[in-house]
Amino acid sequence: MDFSIHAEDGRARTGKMSLLNGTVTTPVFMPVGTLGSVKSLTPHDLEALDAEIILGNTYHLFLRPGMEVIDLAGGLHKFISWKKPILTDSGGFQVFSLAKLVKLTDAGVIFQSHIDGKKFQLTPELAVDIQERFGSDIHMVLDECTGYPVTHAVAAKSMRLSMTWAARCRRAKKNPSLQQFGIVQGGMFEDLRRESIGALTDIGFDGYAIGGLSVGEPKEDMLAMIDVCTEKLPAKKPRYLMGVGTPLDIIEGVNLGLDMFDCVMPTRNARNGALFTSTGKINIKNALHQRDFTPLDASCLCYTCQNYSKAYLRHLYIAKELTYYRLLTIHNLAFYLNFMREIRAAISEKTFGSLLMKSRELWG
């Protein structure tokens, strides 16, 4: 992978990743398009927001519409009409969180589809094959994610199985134009996280992700594990924190040296009436917005804030008009993507510490 670091302020850093379908500036937030669609938005909406990369889900797309359809379409990019980079996860987390029956073996995992009950076996080799057939610019190795809390013994067994699968994923990789990331596991145990990093770096990947966080642990434990991982992970490779999180989580992660983030929070919260703004969080359901004809965020240049008032958006939400989902999702993603631009600018200008303190006061 061509990954270059452009500026640093403490451990926070900006950079660029050159991928098969485009260049991505870091730190970056990746909107989540689980089923090949960021809920309620079109690729045109995402391009207008200047999203550089989106995330898709191997488990969901493998089950529906299935590989035959995506193959006939010419790959995932053509199927969903998205020309920029795509990262896909391996599907392992969804197997354990969504499947009706799961049987774990050294070979892989046998699971029963949450859609129709059919049984499938997902192996490391199949996870790689699916993602290469998708044409994913970045694809993730198959791993097992433990919950919280777990014992050291359970976390160790799970992590070592994931490392065995990671080595098999690396051997199965065929397309040199696509990038593959390893995933650090080990629960909330520093020794296991270090062991996992040692195993992954010995194998050698194009980038490294930190998995198994934001699973119910206290924030201080999450940050401690991020700190352990970023101190040990290769400095010249991109570092990706999977499935996290709030604006404060993200800037704290950047402060510890992370480069990539994804989370359903901005899109899911938008659908539930919770909106992020430069002055804090707004619940559009509140009656105080009924006659408020100001925009959600006076400093936001997104389509929603430039054209609609809180009163109108509240009306759409209360009336359950479908337009609401698109307009508020546009705003929340605009907030997240603008926040990442603000973070990158602060790192370049050596004012990141000030932005971090401001964010802690606003979101802490």
Over the stretch 165-222, which tens digit does the pLDDT of each residue have?
999 999 999 999 999 999 999 999 999 999 999 999 999 999 999 999 999 999 999 9
CATH, range 2-263? 3.20.20.105
Look at the chain and count its residues: 364
* CA distances to 145, 195, 296 from 110, in Å: 15, 27, 47
Give residue 326's pLDDT band: very low, low, confident or very high (50, 70, 90): very high
pLDDT for 258 beyond 80: yes
**Domain map of the chain by residue range?**
2-263, 266-359
Chain-wide mean pLDDT for the chain?
A: 96
Q: What percent of the chain has pLDDT over 70?
A: 100
* CA distances to 56, 98, 194, 262 from 114, in Å: 18, 6, 34, 23
The one-letter code for the residue type at 74 is G
Is 39:325 a contact under the CB 8 Å cutoff? Answer: yes
**Residue listed under structure tokens 């990442």:** 340
CA distance 319 to 329: 17
Give residue 145's pLDDT band: very low, low, confident or very high (50, 70, 90): confident
Q: Burial level of 42, CB count in 10 A (0-12/13-18/19+)?
A: middle
Q: Which helix (H) or strand (E) holds 342?
A: helix 323-348
pLDDT for 344 beyond 80: yes
Which of 71, 278, 262, 107 lies closest to 181, judged by CA? 262
CA distance 259 to 270: 24
pLDDT for 23 beyond 80: yes
The separation between the first and the last C-alpha atoms of the chain, rounded to the nearest angstrom, is: 36
Beta bridge partners of 239: 208
Rg of the chain over Cα atoms, rounded to whole angstroms, equals: 20
**Global pTM exceeds 0.95:** yes
Give the pLDDT confidence score for residue 103 in this predicted structure.
87
The one-letter code for the residue type at 97 is S
Query: Where are the strands (E) in the chain, listed by range?
Result: 2-9, 12-19, 22-26, 28-30, 54-57, 86-89, 102-104, 109-112, 119-122, 138-140, 179-184, 207-210, 239-241, 260-262, 274-277, 280-283
Give the three-state DSSP class for 29. Answer: strand
Give the pLDDT confidence score for residue 339 in this predicted structure.
98
Over the stretch 59-101, which tens digit does the pLDDT of each residue have?
999 999 999 999 999 999 999 999 999 999 998 788 778 777 8
Per-residue burial over 162-191, b = 16 or more CB atoms within 10 Å of its CB, e = otherwise = bbebbbbbbebbeeeebbbbbbbbbbbbee
Q: Burial level of 153, CB count in 10 A (0-12/13-18/19+)?
A: exposed
Give residue 242's pLDDT band: very low, low, confident or very high (50, 70, 90): very high
Give the pLDDT confidence score for residue 94 in this predicted structure.
84
CB-based contacts of 56, cutoff 8 Å, min separation 6: 33, 34, 35, 36, 76, 80, 86, 87, 88, 134, 136
Active site residues: 89, 262
Q: What are the structure tokens assigned to 133, written together?
A: 């057939």
pLDDT for 113 beyond 90: no
Q: Which helix (H) or strand (E) holds 171?
A: helix 152-172
